[in-house]
Structure 1
Amino acid sequence: MTTASPEQLNTPSDLGTEATVALADRLNATLADSFALYLKTKNFHWHVSGPNFRDYHLLFDEQAGQILLSTDAIAERVRKIGKTTVRSISDIARRQTLPENNAGFVGARDMLAELANDNLHLVQSLRAAKAVADEARDNATSGLIDAWTDEAEQRAWFLFETGRHG
């Protein structure tokens, strides 16, 4: 098997080297948190139980699908600016800041609250990436981050409202 050198993956960009390195690092951290949130959302989708099972099961699956779509867009943005992205589960684990949940059982309301907080955590990561993109004058990345932020805020809102006590 032939291996490519890092230079062969260096897509041309008009952004400076320092800017692309900083932006790729920040986007890869956000990507790692996105993968962690995706997996946690799917975990809760698989393990939710109780009287609102169907509603929560479908909500978690819908949100997981949206998160998974954003992971590809984030990774492709890193490649478009000429850098490489996460390569493995251990690489994701090394970069992620989102807390994991390995509990044997989590109640449905706790799932809703935890995922709402996790989506807000992702919003913070996206805002940090936006600051780096804006400093680099990378309007394409900045605009994409706006959309991803809106999606994460909407997920947090839906989870919060769904988990409210009536």
Structure 2
Amino acid sequence: MSKTNNKSDKVSPELDTPTDLPQAAVDKISASLNTLLADAFALYLKTKNFHWHVSGRHFNDYHLMLDQQSEAIFATTDQLAERVRKLGGTTLRSIGQIAKLQTIQDNNEAYVPPREMLRELMEDNKHMAAAMRKARKLCDDHEDSGSASLLEVFIDETERRTWFLFEASRQEGANVA
């Protein structure tokens, strides 16, 4: 399947949102934001998985923290998808498309110890922050201040989750004999 630079080949006329950005910028930024969106869905589901399956003496604290974090991650999905549409791009349509684009790895283990859960999510959030910074630079390069400012907020939120996961995993590690 060959790619073409003709916008009408990619976007139905009914979805062709007007923008002053060049088509090449729309394509690059949309692709970057769609990958972030796929990763947000993957990280949301992994965080929920760990929320549902956490156990141990810090169950209540971790259960609540992971629920709050999953809600914050999920809240980014609509904003990312709508940003792609505002630019004139198209966004995710299926779980299959998420699976193709995601860079966050799933965890299908039957049991994961709490400290490993926290550390894995910490690393995933660090990965997300780095990917967001890269996407933000791309937005800056193409003078897309709307996407850049949205990503700035998400970077800060992701760094906060990383920090909380780090501190909680240190506590867990200190309490394990």
TM-score range, shorter chain: over 0.9
Aligned counterpart for 2:99 among listed residues 93, 99, 107: 93
Q: Which residue of structure 2 lines up, in the alignment, with residue 162 of structure 1?
A: 168
User: Counterpart of 1:109 in structure 2: which amino acid?
Assistant: R
Q: Which residue of structure 2 lines up, in the alignment, with residue 104 of structure 1?
A: 110
Match of 1:51 in 2: 57
Alignment correspondent of 1:38: 44
Q: 1:14 aligns with which of 17, 20, 25?
A: 20
1:129 and 2:135 correspond:
yes
Cα RMSD, aligned residues only:
0.9
CA deviation string 1:27-56 (max 9, x = no partner): 000110110000000000000000000000
1:110 CA drift (Å): 0.5
Q: Normalised by the size of structure 2, how large is the TM-score?
A: 0.90
- With normalisation by structure 1, the TM-score equals 0.95
What residue ranges of structure 1 are gaps of 5+ in the alignment?
none
Greater RCO, CA 8 A, separation 6+: 1
Corresponding residue pairs, total: 162
DSSP 3-state at the match of 2:88: coil
Equivalent residue of 2:107, what SS? coil
Asked if 1:149 corresponds to 2:151, the answer is no
Name structure 2 gaps, 5 residues minimum.
1-10
Name 1:138's counterpart in structure 2: 144
Matched-pair identity in %: 49
Could you say which residue in structure 1 is the equivalent of 2:83?
A: 77
Secondary structure of 1:137's counterpart equals coil
Structure 1 letter corresponding to 2:25: A
Matches of 1:123 and 1:51, distance apart in 2: 30
Displacement, 1:98?
0.8
Rounded Cα–Cα distance in structure 2 between residues aligned with 1:144 and 1:24: 14
Cα deviation 1:28-85 (Å, max 9, x = unaligned): 0011011000000000000000000000000000000000000111001001001110
